[in-house]
Structure 1
Amino acid sequence: MKLLKTVALAGGIAALPALALAQDAAATGEAAAHTSYILTTLLFLIGGFLVMWMAAGFAMLEAGLVRSKNVAMQLTKNIALFSIAGIMYWLVGFNLMYPGDGWSIAGYLGAFAPTVLEPVGVGADATDLGYASVGSDFFFQLMFCATTASIVSGTLAERIKLWPFLVFVVVLTGFIYPIEASWQWGGGWLSEMGFSDFAGSTLVHAAGGFAALAGAIVLGPRIGKYNKDGKVVPIPGSNLALATLGTFILWLGWFGFNGGSQLAMGTVGDVADISRIFANTNMAAAAGAVTALIVTQLVYGKADLTMVLNGALAGLVSITAEPLAPSLFQALIIGAIGGVIVVVTVPLIDKMKIDDVVGAIPVHLIAGLWGTFIVAWTNDGASYGTQLVGFFAIGIFVFVVSLVVWLLIKAIMGLRVSEEEEINGLDMAELGMEAYPEFSKG
């Protein structure tokens, strides 16, 4: 008996190092999980406030590209739409975009409830921390929703009433955007089909472009934009310095837009991928700007600053569907073709008598199509056909629903200011104030 006890004791002592190693391994794994949670949460928060900064970029870009008599109206629309998006995405959008019970009726019904955050002071011992905090995920995704609405604002500038526009924003940010985004990012049918849109060339940018296109068709062009012969009459913006500032702000915010869409920062590989995304994003923007600069010089005999600004933005939209996989050279090609698209399609849109004040449809919709399609060039698992199916499925849904909503708003509230109000400027007609009261109207 003593011998058995001695052997058992010796065996137990011998097992202690192994037990200690197992405990150390478990502790190390737990620490790694907590570190990943913290870093990914931080990525969402930093990426989110960078994308929020894009709201300022859109506001400055639009303020610079409209006439001075409409600047205050554009600024009001931009801060209002961002704020409405924040409320609507909390109220219904976030849960609608990520159905809690799969793709059943119960999942969608469960979406009609406000988003709930973690308890205050939640600790590392929580049973299910997830990969990042709910608050950071909600905040990051919200910024994409608001960006979609910002795209619509610029196209419809200088002739739309304030409150009908904001009613549309309620529907867009609460329902239209979350539903179509759920098809891909919420694990829906496009995701299962193999469609790929890394950061939203289609889900955000083209969707905003389709909503803007529907609105422009219903609203009609500005007074004096097209003469009786159908010739386009240029209407210069009020402040190209502001427009340039807005473009640089958008360029900066795009690093959060694309980089944050890596959705993880807990490993060396994730961080390396984020840096690669940053480099490719910058390259595409630069290539789009330079290409637009060169093409406008060749075509018009003079470089066109507004085309260069939109060329940079088109390069950014083009790389957004897949900013990780391309090489820097491929990113340059993708962005450069985006710059060409803008120079070519802006006059084409005008020939169709679709009045897009800031060029958002060429930049976000057409370049979004290009960026989505070309994903198959750099991603072995992607299909050109599947990419087109995804793009047009989302495009048809957003355009048709937006068209119906615009028509309903027009019938119920009216959309457009009177001819006299449009000529005098929306600042005074809709707001009773001017952005530049010391200057004459322009």
Structure 2
Amino acid sequence: MQNQIFELQYALDTFYFLMCGALVMWMAAGFTMLEAGLVRSKNTVEILTKNIALFATACTMYMICGYAIMYDGNLFLSGIAGTESLVTDALATSAENGFNGDAVYSSASDFFFQVVFVATCMSIVSGAVAERMKLWAFLLFAVVMTGVIYPLEGSWTWGGKEVFGLYSLGDLGFSDFAGSGIVHMAGAAAALSGVLLLGARLGKYGVKGEIRAIPGANLPLAALGTLILWMGWFGFNGGSVLKLGDIASANSVAVVFLNTNAAAAGGAIGALLIARLIFGKADLTMLLNGALAGLVAITAEPLTPSALQATLFGMTAGVIVVLSILLLDKIKIDDPVGAISVHGVVGLFGLLIVPLTNPAASLLGQLVGAATIFAWVFISSLIVWSIIKFVIGLRISEEEEYQGADIAECGMEAYPEFIR
């Protein structure tokens, strides 16, 4: 009877992991649509190509070496054991330790859930460098980011290893439930280093320092992308509970879903209100980024807050992201989609509020963890971007940028019927 219960739990937890992974994979569509909506029409094909290619690159590099670096797992280098042997091994372990309700699931489902997180991290970089970076320079960076840079910082956090053998973030009280820092701030750090080397888009800033808005070509598409991301985030945070096959875990999953949704709603409201105060209008792009900011903020700890606290955290994040986008524009850091603000600035905010509801986390641990993640990803990314810039260059020419990256990089246009 005990073995039958265990097999049922194994099957249920594995299925839950896979379905949450599929939801996170669907976030790739969200990032693609959001970015395609917020860039100009002449850069749409390149953005679409970049997002699908980076997902494929992330999946392949994490399979080749990333998973092994992060978790000492070489399953995909030596071959995965059959499902039957995995269940047999798990049953043997359960018989030794007694059935205790621990999460036990297929190793393949674990890899699948982890690899879609890697792709999410890389997707953050895509929007920030849009409209002026060479496609192949971006994809070369994606190889290193998803194969080495992200897995190494992941090994210090979720992997439980010491940072270059010097200190353990876990011992300091660092906690990041689903990746506000590990995934989102890391992606923003890589994006920031690339943007600093790239410079702004042509015409974005005037000679006297004036800021010129460059509207996106398809706001309905951007809104669709945001709603897809909102939906996918239930898998992102919900799957990070790691199991569903008992009452306590099922209740935890329900709380995580509830708080994830509450924070997104709060973020949207906060951004809408602050934008109204600043601009005197309802700004759709700020509303979209506010919802995403709420999602990023709650990702570090979606289990311990109450629904009201989650809403307030999200609302604060929505205000922060609007102010951050305006500040980055003032200091001439050109981010077409606001990715550095949404995922970086708010990712840090998400880490810092964890101790407010989770007593197991410490403010010192959160600060050291955030500094470690940012310093490693920013510096290593800056080195890689610099090497790529020296070897093949990062930026398309002024003529190509004026013409659009679609023609320059892909040889086709998203909306050819508009051309006369």
Aligned CA distance change for structure 1 residues 137 and 147 (closer, same or farther; 3 Å): same
Q: Which residue of 2 aligns with 1:56?
A: 29
Q: Which residue of 1 aligns with 2:99?
A: none
Q: Which residue of 1 aligns with 2:138?
A: 165
The normalised TM-score by structure 1 is 0.89
Equivalents in 2 of 1:312, 1:267: separation in Å?
A: 31
Equivalents in 2 of 1:380, 1:296: separation in Å?
A: 34
1:171-201 residue CA offsets vs partner (Å, 9 max, x unmatched): 0000001000111111122223321000000
Contact 1:95-1:115 within 8 A present in 2 as well: no
Which of these two proteins has the greater Rg computed from alpha carbons? Answer: 1
1:111-154 residue CA offsets vs partner (Å, 9 max, x unmatched): 69726322265474345698110110000000000000000000
Aligned partner of 2:331 among 348, 352, 355: 352
Equivalents in 2 of 1:158, 1:94: separation in Å?
A: 31
Q: Which residue of 2 aligns with 1:114?
A: 77
Equivalents in 1 of 2:273, 2:172: separation in Å?
A: 39
Aligned CA distance change for structure 1 residues 374 and 421 (closer, same or farther; 3 Å): same
Aligned CA distance change for structure 1 residues 115 and 230 (closer, same or farther; 3 Å): farther
Equivalents in 2 of 1:131, 1:191: separation in Å?
A: 22
Query: Number of aligned pairs?
Result: 404
Q: Which residue of 2 aligns with 1:125?
A: 88
Equivalents in 2 of 1:128, 1:116: separation in Å?
A: 22
Does the alignment pair 1:287 with 2:250? no
Aligned CA distance change for structure 1 residues 415 and 128 (closer, same or farther; 3 Å): farther
Q: Which residue of 1 aligns with 2:205?
A: 226
Equivalent position amino acid for 1:321 in 2: A
Contact 1:81-1:166 within 8 A present in 2 as well: yes
Equivalents in 1 of 2:154, 2:215: separation in Å?
A: 35
Contact 2:86-2:106 within 8 A present in 1 as well: no
1:374-415 residue CA offsets vs partner (Å, 9 max, x unmatched): 000001121112111101111000000000000000001111
Does the alignment pair 1:156 with 2:135? no
Contact 2:184-2:344 within 8 A present in 1 as well: yes
Secondary structure, aligned partner of 1:227: coil
- Structure 2 spans left out of the alignment, 5+ residues: 95-102, 162-167
Q: Which residue of 2 aligns with 1:311?
A: 290
1:405-427 residue CA offsets vs partner (Å, 9 max, x unmatched): 00000001111000000000000
Secondary structure, aligned partner of 1:192: coil
Q: Which residue of 2 aligns with 1:174?
A: 147
Secondary structure, aligned partner of 1:298: helix
> Percent of pairs identical after alignment?
56
Equivalents in 2 of 1:292, 1:59: separation in Å?
A: 22
1:202-238 residue CA offsets vs partner (Å, 9 max, x unmatched): 0000000000000000111100000001111100000
Equivalent position amino acid for 1:373 in 2: L
Q: Which residue of 1 aligns with 2:43?
A: 70
Q: Which residue of 2 aligns with 1:413?
A: 392
1:336-391 residue CA offsets vs partner (Å, 9 max, x unmatched): 11100111010100111111010000100000000000000001121112111101
Question: 5 Å matches for 1:68-147?
Answer: 68-99=41-72, 114=77, 116-119=79-82, 121-122=84-85, 124-126=87-89, 127=92, 131-147=104-120
Aligned partner of 2:310 among 328, 331, 335: 331
Superposed displacement of residue 299, structure 1: 1.2
- Structure 1 spans left out of the alignment, 5+ residues: 1-26, 101-110
Superposed displacement of residue 99, structure 1: 2.2
Does the alignment pair 1:365 with 2:344? yes
Question: 5 Å matches for 1:297-308?
Answer: 297-308=276-287
Contact 1:156-1:212 within 8 A present in 2 as well: yes
Q: Which residue of 2 aligns with 1:11?
A: none
Equivalent position amino acid for 2:205 in 1: Y
Aligned partner of 1:393 among 365, 368, 372: 372
Equivalents in 2 of 1:123, 1:290: separation in Å?
A: 47
Does the alignment pair 1:263 with 2:242? yes
Equivalents in 2 of 1:112, 1:407: separation in Å?
A: 33
Aligned CA distance change for structure 1 residues 301 and 117 (closer, same or farther; 3 Å): same
Equivalents in 1 of 2:324, 2:160: separation in Å?
A: 33
Aligned partner of 1:381 among 350, 360, 380: 360
Equivalent position amino acid for 1:372 in 2: L
Equivalents in 2 of 1:368, 1:307: separation in Å?
A: 17
Aligned partner of 2:319 among 340, 360, 366: 340
Equivalents in 2 of 1:85, 1:292: separation in Å?
A: 32
Contact 2:234-2:257 within 8 A present in 1 as well: yes
Q: Which residue of 1 aligns with 2:257?
A: 278
Secondary structure, aligned partner of 2:35: helix
